[in-house]
Chain A
Amino acid sequence: MKGPEVAAVTRLLTQPMLNAYAEASGDHNPIHIDEAFARTTPMGGTIAHGMLVLSFISEMMAGAFGERWLASGSLDVRFRAPARPGDTVTARATQQEPKDGRLRYAVECVSQTGEALITGAAEVDAA
C-alpha cells in the first residue's frame, strides 16, 4: 500500500491576501490585519493567520487525493513560527509508513529561508 507522491505548493504571502482571508474567514484578529497594532506586539508586524498558511498543506493534499481528501483527510500540526507578508511559503510532504488503512505523510510549511513554520502529519484513507 503506497500512496502517490505529493507535489509541493508554493505561495507568496501578501498583506492583501491576509486581509482577504480575514474577510472570508471572519477572523479579524488585529495581529493579522492591523500593522500599527501588530508593531506594538512581540511579533513586530502583521503575521499570517495560521489557518491560512495551513491551507497550503490542505491544498497540496487535495491536489494529490482529490475527493478522498475531502471525505477522509486529516491534519495534525504545530505552528512553529509566524509567516509574514513578503514570505514565500512552500508546503511539502514526505510519505511515511501506512497505518490502520490510512496513508500517512509528514508535512511542513517552510519559508524562503528554510525556516519551519508548520510541522505535522497528514493522513487520508488508503482507498
Chain B
Amino acid sequence: MAVTLTNIPAGHEFKAMSIVLDDARSRAYRDATGDTLPVYDEQSAVPPLAVAAFALGALLESVGLPPGTLHANEYVRAHQPVPAGSTVECRARVAQRSLRAGRVFVVLESEIRLDGAPAVTTRATVLCEAEAS
C-alpha cells in the first residue's frame, strides 16, 4: 500500500522542508488566483495563503494524496510578512486521524518559519473515502 497523506498515523512528523519563495512563483500564484492588488509588490511580499499553499504543495511532493481527497476545513494565520525571494522552513505533522462513516479525516498542522520565527501557521482538515486511503 502506497504511503498517502490519509494513511499516515496521527502524531507523525514530516521531515522539515525548505521552500524557496521566489518572486516568479509568487507572481504565478497571483496570476492563477487573479489577485492584482499592488500591496504585494509594494511590500515585496508573498500572499500568506500562497505560503500555505506552497507548503502543502511541497508536502505533496513527498507523500501521495488519494485521488478525490477533499478539503473540509482550513485555518491559516500570518505572523509576519514573508518577503518574496526568501526561503522558509516548514514543519508539518499529522495532528489527528479518524474514521467516520466510511471516510478518513486527517488534520494536518504546519508551522512555516522565517529566520527561525513563525511566519504562517496552518491547520487543515482533509477527507477521503476510507477505501481510497
- Which residues of A are interface residues toward B (Cβ below 8 A)? 11, 17, 20-21, 23-31, 37, 41, 43, 49-52, 54-56, 58-59, 62-63, 66-67, 69-79, 82
Contacts and interface: CB of A to CB of B under 8 A. Distances in A.
B102 interface: no
A50 to B, nearest CB: 4
B60 to A, nearest CB: 6
Interface of B: 25, 28-29, 31-35, 37, 39-40, 43, 45, 47-50, 52-54, 56-58, 60-61, 65, 67-82
Given A17-B32, A26-B58, A74-B76, A31 B49 contact: no
A21 B35 CA distance: 12
Given A24-B25, A51-B49, A29 B81 contact: no
A17 B34 CA distance: 9
B53 A51 contact: yes
A72 B80 CA distance: 6
B69 A72 contact: no
Report which residue of B65, B70, B73 has the largest number of chain A beta carbons within 10 angstroms of its beta carbon.
B70
Interface centre among A31, A43, A62, A70 (most CB of B within 10 A): A70
Contacts of A67: 39, 43, 45, 81
B35 A55 contact: yes
A70 B75 contact: no
A29 B78 contact: no
A67 B29 CA distance: 18
Contacts of B60: 26-28
